[in-house]
Amino acid sequence: MPPSSDDGAVRRVVVLPKPLHARPAGQLARLAGRHKENTILLVAGEKNANARGVLAVMAMGAVTGTEVTVTVTGPDAEAVADEAADILTAAEAVDG
């Protein structure tokens, strides 16, 4: 079973296959918007961001190979954490 914690938060740790750019940041913000009762926090190194903020997520500066911890609290946290991890690990190419 995927990692969870005693505080009710669900955590997923992913390694980025590409830099964290605008498209996945926007997808994470839309996910957070669809699940307003949940909190989705991202941590990469010493930087963190709430997934609701596209610019905050991009400002983390996470590049290919960065380990990102996704922490979700609230109802359906397991499913939301899985979807957030899927967004972060999608193998789409970076535009530009």
**7 SS3 class:** coil
35 is an active site residue: no
Query: What is the spatial distance between Cα 91 and Cα 75, in angstroms, rounded to a whole number?
Result: 28
Tokens of residue 56, six digits: 């905050």
Catalytic member of 16, 19, 21, 22: 21
Q: Could you tell me which of 90, 71, 52 has the C-alpha nearest to residue 12?
A: 71
**Catalytic residue list:** 21
